[in-house]
């Protein structure tokens, strides 16, 4: 391995064949399917010019949709941080009936097509649905409101938090907890001072993944959201609407802003996480 640095070339020699073919195909296919089409997304809004771009993305309807997508994704991710932690904790630490079944079920949002989840949530939380009528009696309107968006995004994000926490939780040594208890800490103090700090990086990662997925989510949201402009219209739907009006540059502008914002936020979270890790 140390020979790599000494050699002026970018690839170290190997007796195994097939590098040229496999690497060449990888780059070719990556460019064709991912890089070239994505570059169209970045290049297209250039046609608008800087001012045109700003007018496009600063339109009230666009701003509202972006705010809803990012806000609802953040709320849903926060809900999942708390409850995903409890689910992961119960699955790893306790034994109870149907534990294996519930464990397997956590992956459902990964496997269930989003449109299927979408119509199920719209039915459940609609005015005549089981949950919808229940909430209605409490004076809460779930469907066709921002709350509906949060409900759908909570469903989508759950496995990210649980699946990120589970391996860390089961690998976590119990001796620190035991030491903390022996030294007289209450269970709650142990949780706050020992367990949560140890899990913090995984919690942040899981939350960031759930958030990033929620920002762009479309299929599970549009049915329950009702898509009222300036109320419950999410940013991805606005892209679809602009495309239907053949406003390619406008659609791409919204897309670029969404991508840039979500990459930026995930980057910030990663920075925060590495600083937390560096401090310990």
Partner 1 sequence: MSTHTIALPRSAAGPAEDSPATRLVLIAVAIGYVGIFLLLPLVTVFSSALAGGIRQALSAVADPDALSAIRLTLIVAAISVSLNVVFGIAAAWSISKFDFRGKSLLISLIDIPFSVSPVISGLIFVLVFGMQGWFGPSLRDADVKIIFALPGIVLATTFVTFPFVARELIPLMMDQGRDEEEAAMSLGASGWRSFLRVTLPNMKWALLYAVLLCNARAMGEFGAVSVVSGHIRGLTNTMPLHVEVLYNDYQYVGAFAVAALLAMLALVTLVLKSILEWRYADEIAAVHRH
Nearer to partner 1, 90 or 279 (CB): 90
User: What's the CA gap between 132 and 137, in Å, rounded?
Assistant: 9
- Contact between 96 and partner 1 by CB under 8 A: the answer reads yes
Cα dihedral 200, 201, 202, 205 sign = positive
Quick check: 90 binds partner 1 (CB under 8 A)? yes
Residue 138 sits in the site that holds partner 1 (CB under 8 A)? no
In the complex, minimum distance from the CB of residue 180 to partner 1, in angstroms, rounded to a whole number: 8
210 counts as binding partner 1 under rule CB under 8 A: no
Q: Do residues 72 and 153 make contact, with C-beta atoms less than 8 angstroms apart?
A: yes
Residues from 47 through 86 that contact partner 1 (CB under 8 A)? 83, 86
Selected range binding partner 1 among 24-32, 53-61, 139-147, 271-279, rule: CB under 8 A:
24-32
CA Rg value for the chain? 23
Q: Which is nearer to partner 1, 120 or 136 (CB)?
A: 120
Instruction: For partner 1, give the closer residue by CB, 2 or 51.
Output: 2
Site residues (CB under 8 A) for partner 1, limited to 144-203: 154-155, 158, 160, 163-164, 166-167, 169-171, 174, 177-178, 180-182, 187, 190
Could you say which of 50, 94, 278, 280 contacts partner 1 (CB under 8 A)? 94
Under the criterion CB under 8 A, does residue 6 sit at the interface with partner 1?
no
User: Which of 65, 91, 135, 143 lies at the binding interface for partner 1 (CB under 8 A)?
Assistant: 91
The torsion angle over the Cα atoms of residues 76, 77, 79 and 85, rounded to 10 degrees, is 150
Is 169 strand, coil or helix? helix
212 contact partners, CB below 8 Å, separation of at least 6: 73, 262, 265, 266
Per-residue exposure over 97-125, b if at least 16 CB sit within 10 Å of its own CB, e if not? eeeeeebeebeebeeeebeebbebbbbbb
141 interacts with partner 1 by CB under 8 A: no
Q: How far is the CB of 84 from partner 1 (least distance, A)?
A: 8
Q: How far is 235 from 232, CA to CA, in rounded Å?
A: 10
Residue 172's contacts (CB-CB under 8 Å, 6 or more residues apart) are: 195, 198, 199
Q: How far is the CB of 136 from partner 1 (least distance, A)?
A: 16
Interface residue with partner 1 among 54, 61, 67, 107 (CB under 8 A) is 107
Out of 104, 196, 260, 276, the only residue in the binding site for partner 1 (CB under 8 A) is 104
262 binds partner 1 (CB under 8 A): yes
Minimum Å gap between C-beta 162 and partner 1 is 9
CB 56 within 8 A of CB 245: no
Residue 25 sits in the site that holds partner 1 (CB under 8 A): yes
Positive/negative CA dihedral, 94, 99, 100, 106: negative
């Amino acid at each position: 391995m140390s020979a790599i640095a000494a050699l002026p070339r970018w690839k170290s020699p190997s007796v195994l064949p097939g590098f040229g073919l496999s690497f060449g195909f990888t780059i070719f296919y990556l460019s064709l399917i991912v890089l070239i089409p994505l570059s169209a997304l970045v290049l297209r809004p250039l046609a608008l010019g800087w001012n045109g771009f700003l007018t496009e993305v600063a339109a009230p309807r666009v701003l509202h949709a972006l705010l809803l997508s990012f806000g609802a994704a953040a709320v849903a991710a926060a809900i999942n941080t708390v409850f995903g932690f409890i689910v992961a904790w119960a699955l790893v630490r306790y034994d109870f009936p149907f534990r294996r079944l519930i464990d397997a079920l956590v992956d459902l949002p990964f496997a269930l097509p989003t449109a299927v989840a979408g119509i199920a949530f719209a039915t459940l939380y609609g005015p005549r649905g089981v949950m919808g009528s229940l909430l209605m009696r409490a004076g809460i309107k779930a469907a066709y409101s921002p709350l509906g968006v949060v409900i759908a995004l909570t469903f989508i994000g759950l496995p990210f938090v649980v699946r990120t926490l589970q391996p860390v939780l089961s690998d976590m040594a119990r001796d620190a907890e035991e030491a903390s208890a022996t030294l007289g800490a209450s269970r709650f103090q142990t949780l706050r001072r020992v367990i949560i700090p140890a899990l913090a990086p995984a919690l942040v990662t899981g939350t960031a993944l759930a958030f990033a997925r929620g920002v762009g989510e479309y299929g599970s949201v549009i049915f329950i959201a009702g898509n009222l402009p300036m109320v419950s219209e999410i940013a991805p739907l606005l892209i679809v609407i602009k495309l239907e009006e053949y406003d390619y540059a406008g659609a791409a502008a919204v897309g670029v802003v969404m991508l840039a914002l979500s990459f930026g936020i995930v980057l910030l979270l990663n920075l925060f996480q590495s600083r937390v890790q560096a401090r310990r």
